[in-house]
Amino acid sequence: MSVSRFVVLNKADYLDHAGLTEALDFTGRVVAEATGEATRIYALSARTALTGTGDAGFETFAADVRGYLETGRAADLERSVVAHLRRLTGSLLDEVTLARRAAQMREGAAAERVAAFAGRLQAVRNRAQDAEDFAAAESRRMLAELNGAAEHEAARLAASLASEVGRMLGAELASANARETEQLGRARLADITRAAVESWRQAERDRLERRLEGLEGRLVGELDAELDAISGAAADLLGLDLALPVPGHRISGDLRFIYTLQEDVGQTELLAGATRRRLPGEAGRRRARQYLEREARNLADGQVGRARADLQYRLAEATRTLSRAMRLRYAEGTGRLQTALETAAQLRHATAGEAAQRERQLAAREDALSALAANLESDSEPNQDRAGAASVSPLR
């Protein structure tokens, strides 16, 4: 849908020269297939760009974006508006053309062809609910997989933390008193937990994103196939060439997530902790070890549970957004055609005078829209009628 784009290949510092060249070539081919034109690919490292040394690839990208905003933004705004007007004009023209043709096909075989087209259109409209149901079922499957993965990760992390407790008590905390054992040990467990849970959360988020992207791609592909069939039915049954422009809709999510790794201390734990840290010798160390083992389980279960809840929320929101987007796509793809058939039905049952007056109005509207479409055609670019490859980032 865009009239201009910037494509970034991040983490370029992970690749050697040969690997980067291969990645750039591959990315360039994918983008060209999706957009129908060659697009520059900016190879950079966002992480390096945030350091004091900076990143040359990012600086080039940033300079080109600034230059574009200074010189190309206004022209591209106009191009974008023209493209949107073309889609809107095409949709309105479909409606008035279909209404006139269906109204004229009043009797016999002609009327049967109109009824057949109406049935085909209604079948597509009914698919909207099927698409929502399928998205909901896929979301439930993804949720079940997420819950299973969270339980496995919590058990794995708890075992890893318990092992670390034993290692610390035999190494850097071997001679520490009870207070030092608790404080230093828990700080180490919190660091390990934060890194492990964030790594797991990122991996699960990437997996969910890929699944959601595949889900939307499937649903959009099915809708496009249905609309192509509608276009074919209009040509075969009614002799019409419909544009059927359908805009795309992106889905996105919120990145924010905050870890709560502080000790959950109530009045009972305050008293128990104060007593435990004052116990002398091996008794204090034994109580400190028991405390760390308990905290290992609590940290693993609690933080993995919070990350899981965060992902559950994002998955639910992404599914709702996808369902709304698909509902809108179906409505925009078929709504005006349904209105046209309703208008035609009203004309078929109107008096001769009313039908003639309404026919003159529709003819004038069709002429005006055709003239507008011709004017917009000269100011637009190719491949702007239908949504191309819709890029989806449900959880990012």
pLDDT at site 364? 94
- What are the domain boundaries of the chain? 1-71, 93-378
Q: Which pLDDT score is estimated for 213?
A: 86
What's the pLDDT at 382? 45
* Confidence at residue 12, expressed as pLDDT on a 0 to 100 scale: 93
pLDDT above 90 coverage of the chain, percent: 42
Closest CA to 111 of 120, 102, 119: 102
pLDDT tens, residue by residue, 283-309 = 666 777 888 888 889 999 999 999 999
What's the pTM value of the predicted model, to 2 decimals?
0.67
DSSP string, 233-296: HIIIII-----------------------S----HHHHHHHHHHHH--HHHHHHHHHHHHHHHH
pLDDT of 178 = 78
Residue range 22-36, pLDDT digits in tens: 999 999 999 998 888
Query: What is the mean predicted confidence (pLDDT) over 217-241?
Result: 90
Q: What is the pLDDT of residue 252?
A: 45
> Residue 253 — very low, low, confident or very high, per pLDDT cuts 50/70/90?
very low
- Provide mean pLDDT across the span 81-97: 89
Over 60: is that where the pLDDT of 254 sits? no
Residue range 301-338, pLDDT digits in tens: 999 999 999 999 989 988 888 888 888 888 888 888 99
Q: What is residue 266's predicted lDDT score, i.e. its pLDDT?
A: 40
Q: Is the predicted pLDDT of residue 280 greater than 90, yes or no?
A: no
What's residue 182's pLDDT? 82
Q: How many C-beta atoms surround the C-beta of residue 161 within 10 A?
A: 23
Per-residue confidence (pLDDT) for residue 154, from 0 to 100:
95
pLDDT band at 357 (very low <50, low <70, confident <90, very high): very high
| pLDDT for 170 | 86
From 33-37, 190-194, 286-290, 340-344, the region with the lowest mean pLDDT: 286-290
Exposure class string for 129-153: b at 16+ Cβ within 10 A, else e: eebbebbeebbeebbeebeebbeeb
What is the number of other CB atoms lying within 10 angstroms of the CB of residue 302? 18
State how far the Cα of 252 lies from the Cα of 250, in Å rounded to an integer. Answer: 7
Examine the pLDDT at 175 and tell me if it is beyond 90. Answer: no
**Average of pLDDT values for 122-149?**
93
Q: Above 50 in pLDDT, residue 279?
A: no
CA–CA distance from 259 to each of 123, 148, 197 (Å)? 48, 21, 9
pLDDT above 60: residue 131: yes
Predicted confidence at residue 22, as pLDDT, reads 95
**Residues for the chain: how many in total?**
396
Region 138-158 average pLDDT: 95
Q: Which helix (H) or strand (E) holds 84?
A: helix 73-104
Residue 180 has pLDDT above 70, yes or no: yes
Q: How many CB atoms lie within 10 A of CB 321?
A: 19
Residue 274's pLDDT band (cuts 50, 70, 90):
very low
Rg of the chain (C-alpha set): 31
- The average pLDDT across 190-219 equals 90
In this prediction, residue 181 carries a pLDDT of 83
Structure confidence at residue 74 (pLDDT): 86
Judged against a pLDDT cut of 50, whether residue 133 lies above it is answered with: yes
